[in-house]
Amino acid sequence: MSIYVCRREMGDDGPVKISAALAALLAAACGDDPPSTIEYGAMGSLTRPSGQGSFRFGAATAATQIEDMNPATDWYLWTQPVSEGGLGKGTFVGDAVKGYSKVDEDLALVQSLGLDSYRFSIEWARIEPVKDQIDEAALAHYRTQLETMKSMGIKPLVTLHHFSNPVWVMDPRDSACTSGPSATNLCGFGGPGGAMIVEEMGAHAALIAQRFGDLVDEWGTVNEPFIYMLAAYGIGNFPPGKNTILNLPAFLPAVRDYVAAHAAMYKAIKANDTIDADGDGNAADVGLSMSVASWHPSRGNMPSTNPDDVAAAERITYIMHYLFVDAALNGTFDGDVDGVPEEQHPEWANTIDWLGLQYYFRAGVSADRPLIPAPASLTPCIGGFDVGSCLPALDPTYCVPTMGYEGWSDGIEQIILDHAKRYPNLPLSVTEAGIATSTGKRRAENVVRVLEATERARAAGADVRGYYHWSLTDNFEWAEGYVPKFGLYAVDRSTFARTASEGATVFGEIAKSRTLTTAQRETYGGSGPMTPDPQFTNEFCTKP
């Protein structure tokens, strides 16, 4: 570690007030040397042994969050005003940030940043708006996008299922599935139509792999599967709006179906993408991306060493980080969430070639008066909802007010190391990290600090092959609507103009030079306070 955070602590930039918790961290970290320059190798394979030591820079998006002209998704119907025939939930997604009609403009931004790769998703609802009816115009659009990327030298990392569905997969107007599964409503995961949805997702993956395998070698099946299941089936703030988290026996069948869908997509891609687009010897490298978080035991809004709370932090980490990955690697399922799988599903085994980690926050979790009953038996501090499990931020400047959590960049280091230890043969990439803010310097700080933390994990031996910033542009943040601003480029939703933030400038300099310089690290990096968000922040990082 280095002295620059110490200089900041001492007040080179004026007196900086820091918390006792952060001061303790800094006291352990301060040394005498300026931070060294970090040099990055070239982009390499996501999965092959030859890719070890390689590194790629990228940006990530998802179709529903950016694309206009997208009325066939469940999200469109879910958020469309009631007066227009929708369900009126949350903020209307509408034309998002016109990422479909402005795709060339956005690819030019990726190119101008000098990024190696762009992670984006293909909208299933656009390809198959009515069950078994394929929209060739939509396929042609994505093909043109992939050809443009090839001409620009930008490697695609394509996600097939990122939080959205055609309405016919699970019509949120009839989430109770009153008349059983039909071609217009397969009734969602975990129900009587679950197996049919798994089959449909496999068929969709096969189609996309056949059509685009000559241009794509890197595929992601599902995105943040546990978060998706929790929001869509556990809490119900995503379509189809089911609320079963208080009854795990009702919730877990949806998770089980989603593992099966992942495995079906993996196998369909492997069978149907037989063309090695980049000539490295692999036609299809298929993985998935997991949401990860830095969970800490808490009680009464304070750090806790109570063994019950320590165990609760271990349980939520297991459920959120490992349960799904273990299932897809080992072909097993831990349906009672006790850490020991009791179901055998050999057809799921070995269906992960690479694993993406997506990191945003640090949070407390308590076993005290658990809101989520056994077998989970815990209360997390999540989404700014505080019933005593939320912890004071390591520093209040880490608070991300529009998301109601603590954006502690350093936390990704230990999470990477934990994954490298549990899955020693699985190549890792950071497929999302970012921060909701309109303050460009905060975004630049997030970029540099996540890269620094990732580099510490790599230096300790973790096989991490890239970093994708979330997101390229401001976009539709699901149930949070358009309030959180995650873009390297800000978007004015009246003109849809894109404007580079300081985060884009700094990330572009790093990517183009393949170097994170001492000067950049001194200006943006380290473990001290961040540039404060001008919006209200509070000690517990709950929502204002």
Is 280 a binding residue for Ca ion by CB under 5 A? The answer is: yes
Is 338 a binding residue for Ca ion by CB under 5 A? The answer is: yes
What letter represents residue 543's amino acid?
A: K
* Residues 6 or more apart in contact with residue 7 via CB below 8 angstroms: none
What letter represents residue 161's amino acid?
A: H
Q: Rounded CA gap, 512 and 515, in Å?
A: 8
* Residues 6 or more apart in contact with residue 182 via CB below 8 angstroms: none
Measured from the CB atom, the residue of 278 and 368 that comes closer to Ca ion is 278
Q: Which of residues 350-389 bind Ca ion (CB under 5 A)?
A: none
* Residues 6 or more apart in contact with residue 28 via CB below 8 angstroms: none
Measured from the CB atom, the residue of 76 and 212 that comes closer to Ca ion is 212
* Residues 6 or more apart in contact with residue 457 via CB below 8 angstroms: 412, 413, 416, 417, 420, 464
Burial class (CB in 10 A: 0-12, 13-18, 19+), 505: middle
Find the part of the chain contacting Ca ion (CB under 5 A) among 33-41, 55-63, 274-282, 497-505.
274-282
Q: Which of residues 422-451 bind Ca ion (CB under 5 A)?
A: none
Is 276 a binding residue for Ca ion by CB under 5 A? The answer is: yes
Q: Rounded CA gap, 328 and 335, in Å?
A: 14
For helices 412-422 and 440-459, give the axis angle rounded to 10 degrees.
Answer: 30
Burial class (CB in 10 A: 0-12, 13-18, 19+), 139: middle
Measured from the CB atom, the residue of 244 and 282 that comes closer to Ca ion is 282
Torsion of CA 331, 337, 343, 345, to 10 degrees: -20
Q: Which of residues 318-337 bind Ca ion (CB under 5 A)?
A: 334, 336
Q: How far is the CB of 93 from Ca ion (least distance, A)?
A: 31
Q: How far is the CB of 230 from Ca ion (least distance, A)?
A: 19
Which of 15, 340, 346, 495 lies at the binding interface for Ca ion (CB under 5 A)?
A: 340
Cα–chain-centroid distance for residue 259? 17
Find the part of the chain contacting Ca ion (CB under 5 A) among 56-64, 144-152, 279-287, 360-368.
279-287
Residue whose entry in the numeric block shows the structure tokens 């690290």? 521
Residue nearest to Ca ion (CB): 217
Q: How far is the CB of 282 from Ca ion (least distance, A)?
A: 4
Q: How far is the CB of 212 from Ca ion (least distance, A)?
A: 8
Question: Which positions from 8 to 37 touch Ca ion by CB under 5 A, shown as an x/- string?
Answer: ------------------------------
* Residues 6 or more apart in contact with residue 440 via CB below 8 angstroms: 501, 502, 503, 504, 505
Measured from the CB atom, the residue of 339 and 388 that comes closer to Ca ion is 339
Structure tokens at 229: 């299941």
Measured from the CB atom, the residue of 28 and 340 that comes closer to Ca ion is 340
Which of 47, 221, 282, 289 lies at the binding interface for Ca ion (CB under 5 A)?
A: 282
Which of 278, 314, 368, 539 lies at the binding interface for Ca ion (CB under 5 A)?
A: 278
Measured from the CB atom, the residue of 338 and 347 that comes closer to Ca ion is 338
Measured from the CB atom, the residue of 26 and 260 that comes closer to Ca ion is 260
Which of 6, 160, 201, 283 lies at the binding interface for Ca ion (CB under 5 A)?
A: 283
Measured from the CB atom, the residue of 135 and 278 that comes closer to Ca ion is 278
Is 273 a binding residue for Ca ion by CB under 5 A? The answer is: yes
Do the beta carbons of residue 472 and residue 59 sit within 8 Å? Answer: yes
Find the part of the chain contacting Ca ion (CB under 5 A) among 173-181, 278-286, 344-352, 423-431.
278-286
Q: How far is the CB of 352 from Ca ion (least distance, A)?
A: 17
Q: Rounded CA gap, 90 and 87, in Å?
A: 9
Question: Which positions from 206 to 235 touch Ca ion by CB under 5 A, shown as an x/- string?
Answer: -------x---x------------------
CA distances from 413 to 297, 416, 419, 435 (A): 18, 5, 10, 17
Find the part of the chain contacting Ca ion (CB under 5 A) among 32-40, 78-86, 96-104, 338-346.
338-346
Is 135 a binding residue for Ca ion by CB under 5 A? The answer is: no
Measured from the CB atom, the residue of 334 and 410 that comes closer to Ca ion is 334
Q: How far is the CB of 338 from Ca ion (least distance, A)?
A: 4
Is 158 a binding residue for Ca ion by CB under 5 A? The answer is: no
Find the part of the chain contacting Ca ion (CB under 5 A) among 106-114, 132-140, 205-213, 442-450.
205-213
Alpha-carbon Rg for the chain, nearest whole angstrom, is 22
Is 138 a binding residue for Ca ion by CB under 5 A? The answer is: no
Cα–chain-centroid distance for residue 537? 24
Q: Rounded CA gap, 202 and 124, in Å?
A: 12
Give the DSSP letter of residue 170.
S
Q: How far is the CB of 312 from Ca ion (least distance, A)?
A: 17
What is the binding site for Ca ion (CB under 5 A)?
213, 217, 273, 275-278, 280, 282-283, 334, 336, 338, 340, 342
